[in-house]
């Protein structure tokens, strides 16, 4: 038959074409190795689908450790700075392709989870509104805390989100790049869900102000988030080293400040003020937090701290970074203590003893999961004392 | 607790209406533009000579969760088809062998483009100041992760199910050996991520995506399906649904800088450079993959090119940007000439260097020669006769001891590599417009094949210093280079690359190559 096949004829279903194709196909497959990426070292026993689809997609030369390509970059920045380079971070690795998302999520799995969360959010809000739960929220909590301070916390999440743009550009590995973009998206999702909650409240409660004006004013000019804002600005734009950005945001600021604000303030207190709407959203954020924690602990602890050649050096650098970012974070938490004077105190819940206990939980968790693994010595009791000095 | 007036109002409202209420994506998105704030250090880490406006809006107003929902629906359809019906009908073993080979390159090289687009749009997300504009680029960051995974999935699928897994299963390790790789990196990798952020956006979105995505991702599906491949259309058309948003991002980049004075000074030069950069590789390579990498032909590449690149992009798309001062690139006319002959020139060289590939190539058959001659009059006298000579000398047979690159050497037709595009060319034996230009800088010689690349190099030589394969492998024997680059199959000695796809033909081994004693030389040294 003619080799010209116009008109959208398809080789799979057109009998004439199919005959020619089948005749050309070898009687038995030419290669027995059918495993894609068979040459790589998997994290577990076998190469999984995530590793197949993500690992070594990045074409870096071998002078960036782990790269399989050779030679120089074919086009550089004006002035000759290379596309990607080892100098983009102070951290050293024997193989920048080593990181894994512990949940092995490639794109399809990641969006599937989030899509389910969105559908469930929609169903939850419908049931919540039809059920009339909104009537039970304490008005001060609702109008001031959710309206202003939760709204203002959205800016912290949005700023942290933006701190992922340059690491998405600059990092040196493929699984790293994908993880960084995903944990970044979770942060803007948090900011958006905070706004979603406020918009939802505005639909149910006449007069509730959903605009971002007041929260933004609180974030940029108020005292409660002053330390937080300054820290976020420094993580987002003041820092160039992509590993330091991630370390500052995810190994120091968020597990301390973020965890206190989300878990120990909004999540824990909301039900005492008749609010069982906020826990729905915060719990999603806590899920993202725990997934992100798995990812960043893999980056910094499993890979960099345990690196066979550079582990000791990396650990000492992480200690230095902790020295740099911890005081700012403690200061942010201290400023945040100002919020307790804005709400009616509930004995055993939002009094000083309860706050101290909550801080204890956050600092203990952080010490166990973040400080101890890099041998970082820290006096958490002193830090809690400093934070508490912010109580008005 | 005191009941506030608002609580009372909410209670009263409920008494009247208990209808369930939710929040839509748009209701959240409309606040997005206010999510940012001003502070001293708030500036991008990637400098650009343009200023992107603070109030730039995006066209597709997605929030994170709605994005995930949309993509997830598309994924279900796509992976459902692949894993269910296409696997049951053994579709991977109903693809023409020539096309099975082409997809080793197309899917893997596209994967590199997708992968680098993640970093490129990460940079743009950093450079833009308006939250909506950032959000548009962010959506693309995620899309490009999707596309990277999707392209990988094609090779994964063909490796697992198909007739020749070699090359599909290890492209990411073996792709760097041959002459097509570095040029691919220029267009698909470094061109997207290294430079002025806006220049990179022009490369990626305004040219790469708005211009070459159509031939690359859409036309390829027609060639695929004609040659029995339904996997590629299933995946690539799903990729394409995201590309509209990416083209819109490119459009918004231009909108965001339109009022900036720098735009009137630099935009058209940047566009011209970007167009030439992209076309210099894609025009020959796509044409070559389609026409020489298929058995069944859909239409001559030059027609596809004229429709998508010249008319659709150069005319309509650029025309639409005319109100922002954008002009059709000056190099478009030279590119149009390339669209006719450049892919024929390139295949001659690619075939001659077949042992360095991670795929099998096929000499044109008599039927194909007729088709080429009919569509490209003059083809036979230039290329047809050479292929006949190579075939007669046994280039397909491992016992012949003949590699076609020897023909270039015997006939004194040196093959050079253009420093800027990294595309190989043979100035003394080509019908395309390439002419040899050699310049010396810092004690090193550089060859160029056209004025546009030469100009880019002359103004910024420090951006284009990359050594080419002849410099890299100089003095080394071919089989050694192949072995080092893992160009062999799982038996440890048969090459992944072969000069034929005949099911009865013998397969070449490392020893067959070694016997010939082919040693790399740098043609610039001979000048
Ligand atoms: Fe893409
Ligand atoms: Fe794209």
3-state secondary structure B96-157: CHHHHHHHHHHHHHHHHHHHHHHHHHHHHHHHCCCHHHHHHHHHHHHHHHHHHHHHHHHHHH
Distance, in angstroms, between B236 CA and closest chain A CA? 15
Q: Which of A15, A96, A111, A205 to mutate to test the interface with B (most CBs of B within 10 A)?
A: A111
Determine contact: B474 vs chain A, CB below 8 A.
no
Determine contact: B368 vs chain A, CB below 8 A.
yes
Helix (H, G, I), strand (E, B) or coil at B424: strand
Give the contacts of A296 (CB within 8 A, at least 6 positions apart): A183, A246, A247, A250, A251
Give the contacts of A390 (CB within 8 A, at least 6 positions apart): A333, A334, A335, A336, A337, A338
Collect residues with CB below 5 Å from ion ligand 1.
Answer: B 114, 144, 147
Nearest Cα residue in chain A from B19: A130
Got the DSSP string for A67-130? --B-S--SS--TTS--SS-GGG-S---S-TT----TT---HHHHHHHHHHHHHHHHHHHHHHHH
Residue B1's pLDDT is what? 43
Distance CA(B82)–CA(B202), nearest Å, equals 34
Residue B76's pLDDT is what? 94
- CA A332, distance to chain mean position in Å, is 19
H helix intervals, chain A: 15-24, 49-54, 107-131, 139-140, 151-162, 165-170, 174-204, 213-221, 226-233, 242-247, 259, 268-270, 278-297, 311-336, 352-366, 380-388
Determine contact: A132 vs chain B, CB below 8 A.
yes
Pairing status of strand B437-441 against strand B444-448: antiparallel
Contact A17 B296 (CB under 8 A): yes
Span A329-372, pLDDT tens digits:
999 999 999 999 999 899 999 999 999 999 999 999 999 999 99
CA distances in angstroms from B494 to A27, A271, B100, B260, listed in the order given: 18, 69, 18, 58
Give the contacts of B154 (CB within 8 A, at least 6 positions apart): B103, B107, B231, B232, B235
Span A292-334, pLDDT tens digits:
999 999 999 999 999 999 999 999 999 999 999 999 999 999 9
Contact A75 B186 (CB under 8 A): yes
How many angstroms is it from A36 CA to the middle of ligand 1? 22
Angle between helices B131-161 and B231-257 (to 10 degrees): 160
Distance CA(A70)–CA(A63), nearest Å, equals 8
Q: pLDDT tens, position by position, for chain B (527 residues)? A: 456 888 898 898 888 888 899 999 999 999 999 999 999 989 899 989 999 999 999 989 999 999 999 999 999 999 988 888 899 999 999 999 999 999 999 999 999 999 999 999 999 999 999 999 999 999 999 999 999 999 999 999 999 999 999 999 999 999 999 999 999 999 999 999 999 999 999 999 999 999 998 888 889 999 999 999 999 999 999 999 999 999 999 999 999 999 999 998 999 999 999 999 999 999 999 999 999 999 999 999 999 999 999 999 999 999 999 999 999 999 999 999 989 999 999 999 999 999 999 999 999 999 999 999 999 999 999 999 999 999 999 999 999 999 999 999 999 999 999 999 999 999 999 998 889 999 999 899 999 999 999 999 999 999 999 999 999 999 999 999 999 999 999 999 999 999 999 999 999 999 999 999 999 999 999 98
Q: Which of B2, B5, B6, B441 to mutate to test the interface with A (most CBs of A within 10 A)?
A: B6
Determine contact: A48 vs chain B, CB below 8 A.
no
Instruction: For residue B211, indicate whether it is catalytic.
Output: no
Give the contacts of B513 (CB within 8 A, at least 6 positions apart): B355, B403, B478, B479, B482, B495
Helix (H, G, I), strand (E, B) or coil at A61: strand
DSSP state letter for B322: G
- CB B449 within 8 Å of CB B436: yes
3-state SS of B471-487 is HHHCCCEHHHHHHHCCC
- CB A12 within 8 Å of CB B94: yes
Q: How far apart are the first and last CA of chain B?
A: 92
Distance CA(A285)–CA(A291), nearest Å, equals 10
CA distances in angstroms from B243 to A19, A266, B81, B208, B210, listed in the order given: 35, 40, 21, 11, 8
Distance CA(B128)–CA(B123), nearest Å, equals 9
Q: Which of A237, A86, A167, A83 is nearest to B195 (CA)?
A: A83
- CA B456, distance to chain mean position in Å, is 21
Give the contacts of A123 (CB within 8 A, at least 6 positions apart): none
Q: Which residues of A touch B73 (CB under 8 A)?
A: 115
Residue among B9, B123, B196 minimizing CB distance to A207: B9
How many angstroms is it from B112 CA to the middle of ligand 2? 12
Q: Which of B482, B420, B425, B422 is nearest to B451 (CA)?
A: B420
Q: Which of B154, B142, B286 is nearest to B218 (CA)?
A: B286
Calculated CA dihedral for residues A30, A34, A39, A41, nearest 10 degrees: -170
Distance CA(A221)–CA(B294), nearest Å, equals 65
Nearest Cα residue in chain A from B96: A21
Distance CA(B41)–CA(B489), nearest Å, equals 54
Looking up tokens 């267009």, which residue turns up? B187
Residue among B7, B40, B94 minimizing CB distance to A18: B94
Helix (H, G, I), strand (E, B) or coil at B341: helix
User: How many residues are present in chain B?
Assistant: 527
Which segments of chain A have a pLDDT < 50? none
Distance CA(A236)–CA(A248), nearest Å, equals 10
Residue B3's pLDDT is what? 67
Residue B18's pLDDT is what? 83
Looking up tokens 């100002």, which residue turns up? A338
Determine contact: B170 vs chain A, CB below 8 A.
yes
Distance CA(B368)–CA(A53), nearest Å, equals 36
Distance, in angstroms, between B374 CA and closest chain A CA? 12
CA distances in angstroms from A256 to A281, A366, B32, listed in the order given: 19, 7, 26
- CB B320 within 8 Å of CB B463: no
Global confidence as pTM: 0.98
Looking up tokens 């940079």, which residue turns up? B123
CA distances in angstroms from A162 to A180, A234, B138, B141, B458, listed in the order given: 11, 12, 10, 13, 37
User: Chain A to chain B, count of Cβ pairs less than 8 Å apart?
Assistant: 410
How many angstroms is it from B143 CA to the middle of ligand 2? 7
Residue among A32, A75, A199 minimizing CB distance to B23: A199
């Amino acid at each position: 038959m003619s080799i010209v096949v116009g008109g959208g004829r398809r080789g799979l279903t057109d009998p004439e074409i199919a005959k020619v194709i089948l005749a050309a196909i070898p009687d038995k497959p030419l290669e027995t190795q059918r495993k894609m990426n068979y040459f790589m070292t998997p994290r577990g026993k076998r190469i999984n689908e995530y590793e197949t689809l993500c690992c070594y997609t990045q074409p870096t030369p071998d002078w960036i450790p782990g790269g399989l390509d050779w030679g120089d970059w074919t086009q550089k920045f004006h002035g000759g700075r290379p596309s990607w380079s080892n100098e983009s971070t102070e951290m050293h690795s024997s193989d920048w392709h080593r990181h894994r998302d512990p949940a092995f999520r490639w794109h399809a799995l990641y969006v599937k989870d989030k899509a389910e969360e969105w559908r469930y959010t929609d169903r939850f809000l419908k049931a919540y509104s039809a059920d009339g739960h909104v009537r039970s929220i304490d008005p001060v909590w609702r109008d001031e805390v959710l309206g202003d301070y939760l709204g203002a916390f959205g800016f912290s999440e949005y700023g942290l989100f933006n701190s992922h743009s340059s690491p998405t550009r600059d990092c040196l590995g493929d699984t790293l790049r994908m993880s960084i973009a995903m944990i970044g998206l979770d942060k803007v999702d948090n900011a958006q869900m905070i706004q979603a909650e406020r918009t939802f409240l505005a639909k149910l409660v006449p007069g509730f102000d959903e605009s971002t004006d007041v929260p933004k004013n609180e974030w940029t000019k108020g005292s409660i988030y002053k330390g937080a804002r300054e820290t976020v600005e420094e993580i987002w734009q003041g820092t160039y080293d992509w590993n330091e950005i991630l370390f500052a945001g995810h190994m120091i600021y968020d597990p301390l400040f973020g965890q206190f604000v989300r878990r120990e303030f909004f999540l824990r207190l909301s039900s005492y003020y008749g609010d069982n709407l906020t826990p729905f959203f915060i719990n999603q954020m806590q899920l993202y937090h725990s997934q992100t924690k798995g990812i960043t602990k893999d980056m910094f602890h499993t890979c960099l701290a345990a690196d066979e050649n550079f582990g000791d050096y990396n650990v000492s650098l992480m200690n230095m970074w902790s020295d740099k970012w911890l005081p700012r974070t403690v200061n942010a938490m201290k400023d945040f203590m100002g919020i307790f004077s804005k709400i009616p105190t509930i004995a055993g819940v939002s009094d000083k003893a309860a706050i101290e206990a909550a801080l204890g939980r956050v600092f203990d968790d952080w010490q166990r999961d973040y400080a101890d693994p890099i041998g970082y010595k820290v006096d958490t009791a002193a830090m809690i004392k400093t934070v508490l000095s912010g109580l008005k | 607790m005191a009941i506030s007036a608002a609580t009372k109002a909410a209670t009263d409202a409920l008494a009247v209406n208990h209808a369930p209420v939710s929040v839509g994506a748009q209701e959240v998105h409309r606040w997005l533009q206010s999510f940012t704030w001003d502070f001293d250090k708030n500036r991008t880490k990637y400098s650009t000579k343009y200023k992107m406006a603070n109030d730039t809006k995006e066209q597709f107003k997605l929030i994170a969760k709605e994005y995930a929902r949309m993509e997830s629906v598309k994924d279900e359809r796509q992976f459902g088809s692949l894993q269910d019906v296409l696997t049951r009908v053994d579709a991977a073993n109903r693809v023409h062998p020539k096309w099975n080979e082409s997809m080793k390159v197309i899917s893997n090289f596209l994967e590199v483009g997708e992968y680098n687009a993640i970093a490129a749009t990460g940079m743009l997300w950093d450079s833009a100041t308006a939250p909506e504009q950032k959000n548009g680029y962010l959506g693309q960051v995620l899309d490009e992760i999707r596309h990277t995974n999707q392209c990988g999935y094609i090779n994964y699928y063909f490796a697992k199910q198909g007739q020749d897994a070699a090359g599909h299963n290890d492209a990411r390790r073996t792709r760097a050996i041959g002459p097509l790789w570095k040029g691919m990196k220029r267009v698909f990798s470094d061109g997207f991520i290294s430079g002025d952020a806006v220049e990179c956006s022009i490369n990626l979105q305004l040219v790469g995506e708005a211009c070459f995505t159509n031939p690359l991702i859409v036309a390829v599906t027609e060639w695929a399906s004609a040659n029995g491949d339904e996997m590629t259309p299933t995946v690539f058309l799903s990729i394409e649904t995201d590309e509209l948003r990416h083209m819109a991002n490119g459009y918004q980049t231009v909108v965001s800088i339109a009022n900036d004075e720098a735009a009137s000074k630099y935009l058209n030069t940047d566009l011209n450079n970007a167009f030439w950069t992209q076309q210099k590789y894609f025009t020959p390579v796509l044409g070559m993959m389609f026409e020489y990498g298929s058995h069944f032909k859909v239409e001559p590449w030059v027609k596809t090119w004229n429709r998508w690149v010249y008319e659709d992009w150069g005319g309509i798309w650029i025309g639409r940007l005319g109100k922002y001062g954008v002009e059709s690139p000056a190099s478009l006319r030279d590119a149009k000439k390339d669209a006719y002959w450049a892919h024929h020139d390139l295949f001659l060289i690619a075939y001659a260097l077949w042992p360095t590939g991670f795929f099998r190539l096929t000499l044109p058959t008599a039927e194909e020669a007729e088709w080429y001659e009919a569509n490209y009059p003059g083809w036979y006298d230039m290329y047809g006769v050479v292929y006949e000579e190579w075939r007669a000398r046994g280039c397909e047979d491992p016992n012949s001891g003949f590699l076609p690159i020897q023909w270039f050497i015997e006939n004194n037709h040196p093959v050079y590599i253009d420093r800027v595009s990294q595309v190989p060319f043979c100035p003394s034996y080509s019908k395309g417009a390439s002419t040899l230009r050699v310049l010396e800088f810092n004690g090193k010689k550089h060859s160029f094949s056209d004025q546009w690349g030469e100009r880019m190099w002359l103004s910024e030589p420090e951006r284009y210093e990359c050594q080419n394969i002849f410099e890299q492998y100089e003095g080394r024997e071919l089989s050694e280079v192949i072995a080092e680059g893992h160009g062999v199959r799982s038996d440890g000695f048969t090459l992944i690359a072969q000069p034929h796809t005949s099911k009865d033909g013998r397969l070449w081994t490392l020893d067959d190559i070694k016997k010939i004693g082919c040693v790399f030389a740098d043609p610039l040294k001979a000048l």
